[in-house]
Each structure stands twice: as C-alpha cells, then as structure tokens.
Amino acid sequence: MNVLELDQVCMQIGGVQINRDVSVTLRPGDRRALVGPNGAGKTTLMNMAAGVLRPTSGRVRLGGRDVTSMPVHRRARRGLARTFQITNLFPAMTVAENLAIALQVADPRRLDPLRPWSRARRLWSRVDELLEQSALTAIKDTRVGELAYGDQRRLEIVAAVARPCSVILLDEPGAGLSSEETETLLDLVFGLDPELAVLFIDHDVDLALRLATDVTLLNLGEVVAEGTPAEVRAMPVFSEIYLRGPADARR
Amino acid sequence: MSRLLVPAAVVAGIGAPFVLDVFQIGLVTRGLTWGLVALSIWFLLRLLDQPSFGHAAFFGTGAYVAGLSVTRWQQDNVFVILALAVLVTAVVALPIALIASRLDSIGFLLVTLAFAEMLRSLALRWRVLGGSDGLVGVTRPGAGPFGIDLTDPVTYFYFALVVTAACVTGLWLVRRSSFGGVLVAIRESESRMRALGYHVGAYKVAAFLLSAAVAAVGGVLNAYLVRFVSPDDLGPLVSARGLVIVVVAGGLLTATVLVAVLLTFGEDLASSHTEHWLAVMGALYVAVALLEGIRGSLARRPSAPVPDPVQRVAGEAS
Amino acid sequence: MSPAQIALQLAIGLSFGLLLFLLASGFTLTFGLARFVNLTHGSVFLVSAYVATSFSGRGSYGVAVLAAGATGLLLSVVVYSLARLRWSRVGSDELVQVLLTFGVLLVFAEGGRVLWEGLPRSLPEPGFASGSWQIAGLTFPGYRLFMGAAALAIAAALWWLQERTRFGAMVRAGVDDREMLEAVGISAGPLFLAVFALSGLLAGLAGGIGAPVLGASMGQEYTVLVLAFVIVVLGGPGNLKGAFLASLVVGLADAFGKALMPTFAEFTMMGLVVLVLAWRPQGIMGGAR
C-alpha cells in the first residue's frame, strides 16, 4: 500500500500557477528525491503533502486514506512527519524540552494543567533514552537557540521522528550545511527504519541522486522526469536543466 | 529578590487590616480585583504572546453575573455565583476565542477591544442589564457552607485575598505544567507544533478561556466590593489598567498583584486631587509606554522574533 | 420595512459608511505602513468634531470643516512625535503603542471635556445641503447625501493619491514590505510622518463633515474607534480597497441594525465580524490589493 500519494495536484495562488498536475507516490522504504531548479514548486508541493496548503485541485492520500482536507496536526498524528527549510525548533527551550514536546503529543497527561511538567517522570526518561540514542545527551540542557547549526538540524530530525511515523518530508535538510554534513544527516534518517518512506528536497542534485532510490524532477511546477536516479540522469530534459542552467531551461 | 516577594505579600496581606483604615482596606480589595484582571492578561501575554486589550469584556461579564445573581436570580451562595460567572464568561468568550486565536497579534488586539466595546454598548442599551444606570443595590451574598459574614469589609477583604491567592497559585501551577509548556512551545513555533501533531487552535482557545475565567472572578469580587455594576466595567479603561499593571510588574505574578494595589492607591490619590485624573492616568500610561520595553522583559526573546517560516509561505492556508 | 424606509436606511448607512472610511483609511494606512496601532484616532475625531462645532455661525461651514481637518492633522503629528521619542521600542511593539496611544487618547478626551464642558454639541447644516431632498419620489435627509458625496470625493482623492502619485507608490510599497523600502533608499521617517499627518487630516475632516449629523459628544472617541477597528480587521491592514468595502458594510450594518433592533445593533455588528473572520481570518480582502 502506498504510504503517501499526491494525485494530480495543482496549486494556484493569486493568478500564479505554482504546480500543475503533479503526481508523486511513495511506498514504504522509498527514498525519493524531489529536485528541480529554484521556483519549480518543490516546497509548495511538500507543503501540500504536509497539509499546510490545500491544493486547488487533486487529492492527497496518506496510507490510502484521502487527507486532502485534513489539517496538519491530524496528518501528523497519522504518521506524517516533516522538517522545515528554515530550522524550526523552539529556540528558547532546551534540547531536552524540545524532545519532550515532540514525545508527549499523544500522552493524555500532557493536558493536566496542574501537574508540574518536571514531574512527568516517564516522559523525561523517554527523553533521556532518545537523547542517548541520538548522541545528544551532552547538550541536553543547552538552549536550542545557542546550538551549532548542524546540531539544530540533527535535533530537528530526531524530534520529528521521535514518535512512530510512516513517512517523513525533509525540506532542504542540507540548507546551510556542507555536503558531508548533509550526507550524514540523510544517512541518519535513512538508517532509522527500513519501512520509513522519505521524500526530500535538496539543491545538491548529485548528492540527492546518489542517496535516493527514486527521483522526481520538477520544472516550472510540473513533473518533467521521474524514475530511478540512473534513469533520470540519462534523460535529455535532465541535462537541459542541469547542464545548461535553470535560467536557460525556462526559455 | 523575587523569592521574598511571596512571603512579603502574604504577610502584608494578612496584616493589612491592622494597619489600614476601613476605606483603605476597600482600596486594597479593589487592587486585588484589578490584579486579577492584570493576571488574566499576563497569562495570555506571557505564555502565548497574545496581547489582549479587551479583558474588560470578561471582567464585566463576571461583574454582571454577580450583580444579576443577587438582584434578579435570588442566588445567595458566593461560590455558586463564582462558578456561574466563570461558566457564563466562558460561553461568552468562546466565539471570540475561536476567531481571535487565528489572528496575528495586532488583529488579536483589535478584535478583543472591539468585542469588549460591543458588550459595553449592549450593556448600555439593554434594559435587562440596567442600561446606562447599571445594576444598583448589589448586596453581598452569603458564603455558602462557611458561616462568615461578607458584609464586613475586613472579612470581605480576607475573602478576596484568599480567592486571589488561589488564582495566583493556579496560574503559577499552569505555567509550570506540561500544558503551560505546550503553550510556550506554540508561542515559539505554531507551525512546528502542528507538524508534531498538536491541535494548536484548541490549546489557544483553552488558554483564552482560562484567562477569561480569571478576569471574570475579578469582576465578581469587584461587583460585591463596590455593590454596583455598570457598563464601565466593560470599558477600555479596565483593560488598559490591567495592561499597565502587567507592564510595570514585568511579568512577575506576585508583583502584579502588588502593583495593582499600588495603582489603586495612585488613582485614588489622583482623583482626590484633581477632576482631571483621567488625563493624569493617561499621562502615566504614556510615560510607562515610553520608559518600558514591554515585550522584551515579558515574553519575547531579546532579538526580534523570526517570522514563522511556514506562516510566510502559507498565507492563505488554514 | 417599506421600500421608502429601506431606501432611507440605505442612504444613511452608505453615507455613514463613507464617512467611516475617511476615519478608517487613515487608521489602516498607519497600521499597514508603520505597523502602528493608533488608538488615539478616536479622540482625534472627537476633538476635531468639537472644534468644528465651535464655528457654528452663519456661512462658516467651510471654515469649520477645514479647522477640524487641521486639528486632526496637528493632533496626529503630536502622537507621532511622542512615538518618535522612543521609536526603537514603540515602533515594533504593539503593546507599547496601545499604552501610548490610549494614554494620549485619555489626555485628548479630557482636554476636549475641559474645553467644551463635556456637553454634546452640534453644527448646523450648511444652507446648501440642509432640509430634505426628493429623489425618485423618495425623501432623504439632504445633508446625509451631501456628507456621503463629500466623503466619496475625498475617498476618490485618496485613491488617486495612493494609485497615481509617487507618494502613494511609496506608501503601497512600504505596506507591502517595509524593509525593502529602506533598502531602496526611501527613508521611513518622513514617509511615516506624512501618513500620520494624512490620517489625522482625514479623521479631522470626518469629524467636521460628520458634525451636523453626528455632533460631538463624549464617548464618541470609543464608538468610532471600535468601528474603525472592525473595518481594518475586516478589510485587511493597509488595504484601502478592503477598508472601503468594509466601511460600506459596517455603515449599512450599523444603520439597519439600529433601525431594526436598536438594543442589539452593535452586538450584531460583532456577530458579523465573528462570522466574517471565522470564514476568512485574513479579512474580506486579505491579501488581495
């Protein structure tokens, strides 16, 4: 069964057509790279998958179920995780607190308005476990705002997958990082769970094609190529876009 | 320093009637009710960074419920009345909570003020609520199972003190609870909270209702203190006062109540010296505004908050 | 309601709405451009209206209106100057603005109360627009029609200013993206001052033009302020077209509300706001220009 399906989605804002008839399918264990020049509509597509934007037409399905009008938080509860292009953590809170927030989502005791948060022993021991697993224990009490960028990115991913999820959307996980750091980060994600489906956007096409199992190439909001990295790399449209440069491809 | 505030305040509270005369005790009691309004504003501001300029709506609703309870509804148990006031206020606040929580901070500000003003004009026109004369002859109810006499000013003061202390403690606990943590996280990044699976809107509404409830309690206490309810209880001056108190107190809970009491004495002083005391208060607000960096000391980080990365993109989306 | 009554309420509502637009447009511009919540606006209207009523001799209608406009302009500049004293704090923090402008509102309102003894006052209708006018067999209060027309003319001038002049272009650009404006080399200070002055002028003119029907009375500073808020929230900040539409809607809702259910008039207005915002949180025209 498909973990995530975008079925002929279109996105129009104002008079601008951002995406047209885009279809993307993810099966368990897929690692699909979403590539294309700037302005190709990749982030918009990801936002539609996440539920931040509602497509003007087309359907979005999560685990077979139509979620096109389902709000973001309910998709998250159904196993869809995502990270953001600009690091989106809670800067005033510590690493441990950031993870705690991520972990307690489904815990009914989080609603208790009178019990001090610090007393939630089971929660904090789960946080400690997670910190150990991700080698973050050393910085657990540092405020996220003070962390090195690479650590922030890593934390973001750890927090995103803290709870069981079937698919994770990574929007430019490598933004602001070197290629090596990006690769380490992506390997971290890929190593988590063989059944986890990953859809990621990255500007570094070579890296993306090297690490992905499938590729979707977008240009001007439409899918212009799709297939395994080798297949896509061999397609003429790929060379047009990536060897002549994005500005030329638009002409 | 702030460690000393709580015991100091408790001592001051308990000892006040021995030091002050009846009129002054009345002022302190009034200060407590204003403190509750300020606290209710503080709650939303500190935890969610939402500035409300319309909490008079909830203070006033609580006051009107209190007034109607004794003049029309034959209700004589102050605890029942408090519960009723909270309930009614929550119902009244709900529609505003629902839309306000979806607005940015300026929209939130405008809508809350507009809401309070609209309630005020309703109270002005509606015979049922006494119209522009308000509700007069509001007597103090009984204290339920406790055989105390609330008509005695000192007893009433202690009653108000206990209620205020209970609210302060409650808010303090909430801030430290995981619910409070969630609210702070929402303030830090709504989009991330949604992506993690939190129903952000529901949390904001819950926080708003809690805040409204505290303000309503203040309204009830005030109604029985002055034995009078008027549309002015729903007016912008009430909201502005609450705001000024929060600002000056810098977000410390106990300090908020203390500043409120101080302000009551201040306003009394001003009004006994000049009939233009409103202008004096206005000048005070201007001075506080120009001299204090509000948000910096209260909720926001020192640097300008980074715009929510998703909000920028999403625009039209829910 | 009979057709004649409906037509009457339409005229009243639309003319009031147009007047409100003058008030709200200034508010939404300072709001959209400088991110500044100017609560003083209500008292600027009030004091200007009082000033206008001081010129109630014969043939002095024009002077009254101009004086009101000038008063409004002056008062707004005072507010701006106060804010400028600590712009780094005031400019970026709504709460500070609220406290500041509310404080000034209290001072201005009290000043008005002192100067005019807190009594409601009115301005006689000018000779050329008084009495009732007959149009298509229906009777309308002449001055209301004139008021609407005058407000519409000013609104048109404002639109021309925003759409066709360099000044307007700068304002529009600034509303869109303030940082870009400074990056392009247009200094914000003089522009903000101009917008504040303009908003004050408009509010003052509204107070003056509205004086024959609305009069000047204590308490107006709050009622018009709330209506301005509602208009800005419904129409979207900095959005003149949205404010225009919203003003008409609010004016009509006010007129019909007061005619049909006087007790609940403002309350139903709030209900309207709630409904619109529940349907579109960004206002009637949010986002669009």
CATH assignment at residue B70: 1.10.3470
Q: Are residues A168 and A138 in the same domain?
A: no
Rounded Cα gap, residues C131 and C146, in angstroms? 11
Of A162, A179, A199, the position where a domain reaches its end is: A162
Question: Given CB atoms, is B192 within the 8 Å cutoff of chain A?
Answer: yes
pLDDT reported for residue B307: 38
DSSP letter for C281, please.
T
- Of B118, B126, B283, nearest to C103 by CB-CB distance is B283
One domain, residues A24 and A141: no
Boundary residue ending a domain (A140, A162, A184): A162
The residue whose two tokens read 């619910």 is: B179
> C103–B282: do the CB atoms touch at under 8 Å?
yes
pLDDT of the residue at A115: 85
Domain range for A207? 1-79+164-251
Confidence of residue B315 (pLDDT cuts 50, 70, 90): very low
Q: Looking at the structure, do residues A224 and A214 belong to the same domain, yes or no?
A: yes
CA distance A131 to A125: 10
Q: Which residues of C touch B316 (CB under 8 A)?
A: 282, 287
Check residue B141 and give its pLDDT. Answer: 87
Domain count for chain B: 1
In tens, the pLDDT along B257-314 reads 999 999 999 999 998 998 889 999 999 999 988 886 544 444 443 333 333 444 333 3
| CB–CB contact B244 C95 (8 Å) | no
Helix (H) or strand (E) holding A11: strand A4-13
Q: What is the total count of domains within chain A?
A: 2
Please give the residue of chain C at the shortest CA–CA distance from B286.
Answer: C100
> Which residues form the domain of B262?
2-314
Is there a single domain that holds both residue A176 and residue A155? Answer: no
pTM: 0.87
DSSP C21-56: HHHHHHHHHHHHHH----TTHHHHHHHHHHHHHTT-
pLDDT at A166: 93
What region, left, alpha or beta, does residue A64 occupy, with left being phi > 0 and alpha being psi -120 to 50 degrees?
A: left
Q: Which chains touch A (3 or more CB pairs under 8 A)?
A: B
Residues A65, A173, single domain; the answer is yes
Mutate to test the interface with C, among B52, B94, B105, B106 (most CBs of C within 10 A): B106
pLDDT value at B84 more than 50: yes
Spell out which residues of chain B touch residue C179, defining contact as CB-CB under 8 Å.
Answer: none
Residue A47 binned pLDDT confidence (cut-offs 50, 70, 90): very high
Q: How far is A249 from chain B (nearest CA, A)?
A: 25
- Does the beta carbon of C94 lie under 8 angstroms from any beta carbon of chain B? yes
Residue B245 pLDDT = 92
Query: Is the CB of C274 less than 8 angstroms away from the CB of B95?
Result: yes
d(CA A206, CA A179): 10
CATH number of the domain bearing residue A244: 3.40.50.300
Model confidence at A74, pLDDT cuts 50, 70, 90, reads: very high
- CA dist A169 and A160 (Å) reads 10
Q: What angle do CA B194, A196, A170 make, to 5 degrees?
A: 50
Q: Do residues A186 and A123 share a domain?
A: no
In chain C, positions 120-149, which contact chain B (CB-CB < 8 Å)?
Answer: none
Predicted confidence at residue B167, as pLDDT, reads: 95
Percent of chain B with pLDDT over 90: 50
A152 or C91: which leads in pLDDT: A152
Q: Distance between CA atoms of C182 and C188, rounded to whole angstroms?
A: 7
Per-residue model confidence (pLDDT) at position C286? 53
Specify whether A174 is located in the same domain as A157. Answer: no
| Residue B88 near residue B82, CB atoms below 8 Å | no
Contacts of residue B126 in chain C, CB cutoff 8 Å? 263-264
Give the residue ranges of chain C where pLDDT is below 70: 57-59, 282-289
Asked if A163 and B197 come within 8 Å (Cβ–Cβ), the reply is yes
Question: In the CATH scheme, what is the code of domain C3-279?
Answer: 1.10.3470
At residue A134, the pLDDT reads: 82
ipTM: 0.85
pLDDT at residue number B309: 41
- For C113, the 3-state DSSP assignment is helix
CA distance B207 to chain A (A): 10
Residues A144, A217 share a domain? no
- pLDDT attached to residue A245: 53
Q: Which has the closest alpha carbon to B235: B120, B145, B122?
A: B120
Q: How many Cβ atoms from other residues are within 10 Å of residue B8's Cβ?
A: 12
Q: Which of A116, A145, A162 is the last residue of a domain?
A: A162
Average pLDDT over residues B61-65: 95
Which sequence spans correspond to the domains of chain C?
3-279
**Per-residue pLDDT tens over the stretch B189-202:** 999 999 999 999 99
